[in-house]
Chain A
Amino acid sequence: MGSKRRRRHIRSKYKNAVSYVISVFVMLCITVSFWGVTIKTGLLNTGIVEKSLVSSGYYEEKAESLTANLKNMFKDSGISEDVSEGIITDRMIVLDTNNYISSTINNEAPEYDTEGLKTSLIEHINSYLASKGVTADDKLAEYVELLSDKAVADYESNIKFPFISYFMESVNNYKGAANMLIIIPIPLLLVCLIVLILMHRMKYRGIRYFGYGVCAASILEIITSLLMKRSFMSIAAGKEGAYFEFVGNYISGAMRQGIYSALAGFMIFGIIIIVTYYCRKKAI
């Protein structure tokens, strides 16, 4: 009788040990899935890029730098720098940058309203010349047109947002891998859950061990997201300018998806606790 009880005790200890090992495996599978979700909905998400551009003040800085180019051009031509004020607006930068981004995403050539910009330039220069009492003849009109063409060409080459081309290249290269990271652990998790349930006479105990894995994965996801965010932020650390502020905001926004995944994991763990509680009550 004593040896029977000892055998049952050893079998029970063995069952618990195996259950804990399966819990660790469940934790690893779910963490890998969470990383896949973070990559797909965070790092490879164009929505986060667009939001980060707005929050970083990139458009305002771009408008200032393009206006500065225009001022230099006018200065070289003997025109007052004040003439460049109000030609390049924040709204123009937002529209054209977003145009460039969506064209790149759709693999199309971007189109800008350069006619509008050129007309505005010519009007500003002509009114400046008129205020100085200068009458525009054909030669002067030709020079103003050439200057406007040069300013438009400078605007077109500097409005580009090359980040999006390299970003889309990464999206095309890695979205398949991110999908694999999300999908492949799912059948493994189902197998683990079935094994845990079949192993235990009280089925809710099997589900509880599964829950330990879910909770541990959520904790691990929060820690690793914060660690990875700290390591990624060094790319933009100490660098000035709206572009690097944008890179920092993009990284923060992307890694926040990992935190959201972890919160979803905690919610699932909460449901598991409730289910096991009621199952235990029913069993008693």
Chain B
Amino acid sequence: MGHKEQRIFRYIWIPLSIAAIGLVLYFIAGRVFAGNIAAQISYVAVQGEPRNVSSNGIEFSEVSEGNVDEAEIIMPSAGEQYGEIRCDAFSEAVPLYYGDTDDVIGDGTGENPGKGAGQSLLSGLPGQGKTILVGAHDTTYFGQLKDVHAGDSIVLACTYGTFEYTVSKIDIIDGADYTVSDDKEQLVLYTCYPFGEVGKDRTEKIVYICDKVSGPVIGGSEVGQ
């Protein structure tokens, strides 16, 4: 091999060969690292998306005690916003919808961020004296739950009244089954857990169980007061 060929071999082919070994190692092991970074960027980008919080023409009632005649309330239909969830720990109020389909809560990946938190149709409405089950994705509206602690106050401002609850317990459950109670009015907020780990297959849910502090009662029922 002449001097010129030797130099080309030394300074081009050898580094390229070593780089090729590095590329193989990247595809074997380095992509996991890159995947974790991608998941973190995705979480920040989706959570950080500014949402245009306008009132959408919905008027919230400030009635926070007494009885409300059921006939006077316009019951929300599935997919309709009927309130918003407020908390000092939230940077912005979360719109509250009746129904928890993908159209309402989105798919949690950022392609469809949804419109707000969705209440299960199998649970009761605020003021009915039953459990109110509300869920949303942690990558969109309920990422804010991370800053909520036991003892914090959660307010549901609805079209027919304003209800206040206090977080009494925070649980982590496996799976999505939660038994809804008809004896006592509790607000249950839930989302995927651990927060923000979008790249992983998560089966756990974090559940915030909140006891009613104040708010009108629909139909004059004393249950749950």
State the A residues within 8 Å of B (CB): 20, 23-24, 27-28, 31, 35, 39, 43, 62, 65, 69, 72, 76, 154, 157-158, 160-167, 169-170, 174, 208, 212-213, 215-217, 219-220, 223-224, 227-228, 231-232, 235-236, 239, 243, 247, 251, 269, 273
Known contacts A208-B10, A217-B22; decide if A167 and B34 are in contact (CB<8 Å). no
Picked from B19, B43, B54, B143, the residue with its CB within 8 Å of the CB of A72 is B54
- On chain B, the residues within 8 Å of A228 by CB distance are 34, 37-38
Once the chains are docked, how many angstroms separate the CA of A212 from the CA of B20? 12
B122 at the interface (CB under 8 A from A): no
- CB pair A212–B26 under 8 Å, yes or no, is no
Known contacts A224-B30, A228-B37; decide if A158 and B52 are in contact (CB<8 Å). yes
Once the chains are docked, how many angstroms separate the CA of A62 from the CA of B52? 10
- CB pair B49–A216 under 8 Å, yes or no, is no
Known contacts A72-B54, A243-B50; decide if A216 and B15 are in contact (CB<8 Å). yes
Known contacts A157-B53, A157-B92, A208-B10; decide if A27 and B22 are in contact (CB<8 Å). yes
B74 at the interface (CB under 8 A from A): no
- CB pair B30–A43 under 8 Å, yes or no, is no
Closest residue of B by beta carbon distance from A214: B15
Once the chains are docked, how many angstroms separate the CA of A228 from the CA of B111? 20
Could you list 8 further interchain pairs (A-B, Cβ under 8 angstroms) beyond the known A161-B50, A162-B49?
A160-B91, A164-B48, A212-B15, A216-B16, A219-B19, A220-B26, A228-B38, A232-B37
Once the chains are docked, how many angstroms separate the CA of A27 from the CA of B25? 11
Shortest B112–chain A CB gap in Å is 11
Once the chains are docked, how many angstroms separate the CA of A160 from the CA of B52? 10
State the B residues within 8 Å of A (CB): 10-11, 14-16, 18-19, 21-23, 25-26, 30, 33-34, 37-38, 40-45, 47-50, 52-55, 57, 91-93, 110-111, 143
Known contacts A27-B19, A213-B18, A216-B22; decide if A158 and B50 are in contact (CB<8 Å). yes
Once the chains are docked, how many angstroms separate the CA of A137 from the CA of B55? 28
Instruction: Please give me the 6 A-B residue pairs with the lowest Cβ-Cβ distance, nearest first.
Output: A163-B48, A216-B18, A215-B15, A219-B19, A216-B19, A220-B22
- On chain B, the residues within 8 Å of A162 by CB distance are 47-50, 91-92
- CB pair B26–A160 under 8 Å, yes or no, is no
Once the chains are docked, how many angstroms separate the CA of A3 from the CA of B14? 30
Once the chains are docked, how many angstroms separate the CA of A223 from the CA of B45? 24
Once the chains are docked, how many angstroms separate the CA of A47 from the CA of B42? 20
Query: Binding site of A, secondary structure by majority: helix, strand, loop or mixed?
Result: helix
CB-defined A-B contacts under 8 Å, sample of 20: A24-B21, A27-B18, A28-B22, A31-B22, A35-B33, A43-B41, A62-B50, A162-B91, A163-B48, A165-B48, A166-B43, A167-B48, A216-B15, A216-B19, A216-B22, A217-B22, A219-B16, A243-B50, A247-B45, A251-B41
- On chain B, the residues within 8 Å of A216 by CB distance are 15-16, 18-19, 21-22
- On chain B, the residues within 8 Å of A158 by CB distance are 50, 52-54
- CB pair B11–A273 under 8 Å, yes or no, is yes
Shortest A71–chain B CB gap in Å is 11
Closest residue of A by beta carbon distance from B34: A228
- On chain A, the residues within 8 Å of B11 by CB distance are 215, 273
Once the chains are docked, how many angstroms separate the CA of A80 from the CA of B80? 29
- On chain B, the residues within 8 Å of A62 by CB distance are 50
- On chain A, the residues within 8 Å of B92 by CB distance are 157, 160, 162
- CB pair B44–A170 under 8 Å, yes or no, is yes
- CB pair B54–A243 under 8 Å, yes or no, is no
Shortest B14–chain A CB gap in Å is 5
- CB pair A223–B44 under 8 Å, yes or no, is no
Shortest B25–chain A CB gap in Å is 7
Closest residue of B by beta carbon distance from A215: B15
- On chain B, the residues within 8 Å of A269 by CB distance are 15
- On chain B, the residues within 8 Å of A220 by CB distance are 19, 22-23, 26
- CB pair B16–A167 under 8 Å, yes or no, is no
- CB pair A24–B22 under 8 Å, yes or no, is yes
- On chain B, the residues within 8 Å of A72 by CB distance are 54
- On chain A, the residues within 8 Å of B45 by CB distance are 163, 235-236, 247
